[in-house]
Structure 1
Amino acid sequence: MKKTIIRLLVAVTILGGIYWLWSISGRADETIGNTEPQKTTELSAINPLPDTIRGNLLGIQPYLTPIDYSSKARLGWILEEQLSQAREKGWINNNTIAVYPEYIGTWLVAAGEKTSIYEAPDMQSAMTTLVLSNLPRFIRHYASAPKGTDKTKHALFSMKSARMAEQYQQVFSNLAKQFNVTIVAGSIVLEEPYIDKSGNLRTGKGSLYNTTAVFSPEGSIMPPLVKKAFPINDEKPFTACGKPGDMPVFLTKAGNMGVLICADSWYPEAYTGLANKAEFLAVPSLASTDSIWKGPWMGYNGAAAPVDVDTTRYRKITEEDAWASYSMGGRGPKAGIHQGINVFFTGDMWDMHPEGRVLSLIGDSLNISAPALKTSKVYNLWLKN
């Protein structure tokens, strides 16, 4: 019996050693940047330079793939490229606000992982490898995931949350300081995020939130954090809801800015604290594929339609028409906000291929750009006084 136990312990030790060696081998170096040729970026002016301006909004859509999230250095290098080209165009000044897409920070969950993850054929395969190569940590976080949540997704982000917060802040703080601009840093999924007394982005224990941080030209986070209040159905199993009445107004060099994360721009409650206070809007978004724009609008996703929405229009108008009627384009002017930009993620993230558009609000008109197809785009909107 004793020999059997010893043999078992030896076998477990050997297997554990083999697993450990496999789990640490072939990982990306999180400090390595990019040495590849520059990616193509298209620059488009939304409106002509007015006689009097208060600043400008840059809608930045970097074309991103999984390998671009292998390190924070590589992601920062790519994002730097678009700002550099915007500066060469004359679109960077002391009153510039750069706006990035929803979820742009979320894929830092893959930073420093096994390189096979970036080459996986689909997201399911990539996430499976991520789980297996971090199995002890994953099991701990899976066991402590809140009841009623998708425990697998919760554990995936929970186990990397603290590191993701640190990398996210480093990337966007450096960009804000380097180019002396205000940055609306898209969004990132983090566990109970908060800003500590030293101004650092930290995470706690509890629920996951789809969160946006705004960075000042000095590189500091401008409190408070913005948490998505109306997650869509795909997000609800693993992200919690922020409070729609807590949407802040940020005092920037260009004026008072409201920030709404994607679907929040569809709900009148999200405009309550912004009405007649915010002078313009920044809206980070993500849509799964570009084909939805011309397809039939299937209705509100994740929460009941507001009382002012004509639900008989479901499946009768296009998704594009619905965005024009019920998001920033329709609700901004009602709240006394007549300028803004809505930026969508673009790239090839495993088997997800979001093709970004930029929506711009000028006066009471919403302009919708052509899709970004396998290229980075930067749109400039001059803000009028």
Structure 2
Amino acid sequence: MRKLLGLFIALALVALLVGYAIWIGDRPVGHYLSDLRIHLVVNEGQPGERGNLLGIQPELFPADYQSTERLHRKLSAYLQQARDQGLINSKTIVVLPEHIGTWLLASGERNQLYQAQTIQEAMTWLALSHPWRFINAVFKAKGGNRLDDAHMRMKAEAMARDYQSLFGGLAREFGVTLVAGSIVLPEPSVENGQLQIGNGPLFNSSVTFGSDGLPIGQPQRQLSPANHQRGYIRPADGAPLHVIDTPAGRLGVLIGSDSWYPRNYKVLNQQGVELIAIPALVIGNDRWNKPWGGSHHPMTVSSIGLNPLQVSEGQAWQRLTLSGREYQSNARASISVFMRGQLWDQGSSGYSFASHAGQNVSEPLPDSQAAHGARLINIWL
């Protein structure tokens, strides 16, 4: 009887292991109808020979990341609509929001991940789908939050490859310079025209692609990520701020709250910056209109002269970012571009804005017709 029971248990375990192996190897792609609406909400200046800064504020959901083909279809539809409106030429600089590349870690996964109710649940499905890869990533994790570090690290090689293929491909397809938001990768670098990863800590980084589809210079690392990200994203203290040559002028990239620091504008000035792209993200539905959470950022309230109790998140972003002008920024134009949509239980808010020729231009609050869908903000130089 014992032998029979042992045999039964052994067979059951084998069946479970075989079933689990089949499950983690199966990657069905479900049908998904993308919302390709996009509204031109700012079109400042007159078309000319100097080009333009074109911010695309996409509206994205988990299913958009089910495959790079699906995400390409959505982003290329946005760009095509911009082209149809005469907003794309050989001197156009397209700017996408912060972390648009980070969620490539969800590409090619099982349907349960996209149907999850929370990011935590989605990451649990990710780990279950790649158990050995996840365990290996946990041992290699560098951050204080080893689980979040491992989730990012376990698919970093594929993420880097997909990031360059997708965003470099879009830049080449539409003949533009494209600031590809940002992506979290371990020690990213460009070698022989290819985005590579290392074995060290994770950095939130942005790559700018030329119209030939290749990276221009090295990835720009975020110098000062917010406190809640520092458990797995390493601050790039001492990393250089790059200024690159584009057909529209010398371009610098400040990721998110790096745009708040006057010293960063001074460094860009020393390199002859003319244009500044700011990929940004504000997490939380309607947080834009709620009291600013400045006390949660490494920059102290006293050092910036803003009281979180007296300003909203949106007011703080505009006053801090545009304060670069007060410190004699040489850039003739800058643009801050935010994400829209809902990634699991993590909503996003934020309204793009720009500075051009000494004038501040803000994206208007959406009316009932433009409440959904992506948004375009265009500044002619």
Q: After the TM superposition, which segments of 4 or more aligned residues of structure 1 sit over 6 Å from their partners? A: 1-9
CA contact (8 A) 1:290 1:356 kept: no
Of 154, 172, 181, which aligns to 1:177? 172
Structure-1 residue corresponding to 2:244: 250
User: Following superposition of structure 1 onto structure 2, how do residues 1-385 of structure 1 map, counting pairs within 5 Å?
Assistant: 12-28=13-29, 36=33, 39-49=36-46, 53-146=49-142, 148-197=143-192, 199-243=193-237, 246-275=240-269, 277-289=272-284, 291-305=286-300, 308-311=303-306, 313-327=307-321, 329-334=322-327, 335-371=329-365, 373-383=371-381
The one-letter code sitting in structure 2 at the alignment partner of 1:234 is: H
RMSD: 2.4
Change (3 A) 1:193 1:302: same
The one-letter code sitting in structure 1 at the alignment partner of 2:345 is: D
Q: CA deviation at 1:173?
A: 1.1
CA contact (8 A) 2:203 2:234 kept: yes
SS at match of 1:283: strand
Q: Which moved more, 1:222-231 or 1:269-278?
A: 269-278
Q: Determine the C-alpha separation between the residues in 1 that align with 2:82 and 2:120.
A: 36
CA contact (8 A) 2:40 2:375 kept: yes
Change (3 A) 1:35 1:351: closer
CA contact (8 A) 1:296 1:316 kept: yes
Compute the TM-score of the two structures, normalised by the length of structure 2.
0.91
Change (3 A) 1:70 1:353: same
The one-letter code sitting in structure 1 at the alignment partner of 2:179 is: V
Q: CA deviation at 1:194?
A: 1.2
Change (3 A) 1:165 1:39: same
Q: CA offsets, 1:42-63, max 9 Å, x none?
A: 123331306x551101100121
Give aligned-pair identity as a percent: 34
Q: CA deviation at 1:308?
A: 5.0
Q: Which moved more, 1:200-209 or 1:9-18?
A: 9-18
Change (3 A) 1:332 1:301: farther
Q: Which moved more, 1:317-326 or 1:68-77?
A: 317-326
The one-letter code sitting in structure 1 at the alignment partner of 2:113 is: I
Gapped runs of 5+ residues in structure 1? none
CA contact (8 A) 2:314 2:350 kept: no
Compute the TM-score of the two structures, normalised by the length of structure 1.
0.90
Q: Determine the C-alpha separation between the residues in 2 that align with 1:272 and 1:133.
A: 46
Gapped runs of 5+ residues in structure 2? none
Q: CA offsets, 1:291-313, max 9 Å, x none?
A: 333222232543133875225x2
SS at match of 2:361: strand
Q: CA offsets, 1:50-105, max 9 Å, x none?
A: 6x551101100121110000001111111001110111101111100000000101
Q: Determine the C-alpha separation between the residues in 2 that align with 1:37 and 1:14.
A: 38
Q: Determine the C-alpha separation between the residues in 1 that align with 2:35 and 2:343.
A: 19
CA contact (8 A) 2:32 2:63 kept: no
Change (3 A) 1:239 1:319: same
CA contact (8 A) 2:177 2:211 kept: yes
SS at match of 2:343: coil
CA contact (8 A) 2:97 2:337 kept: yes
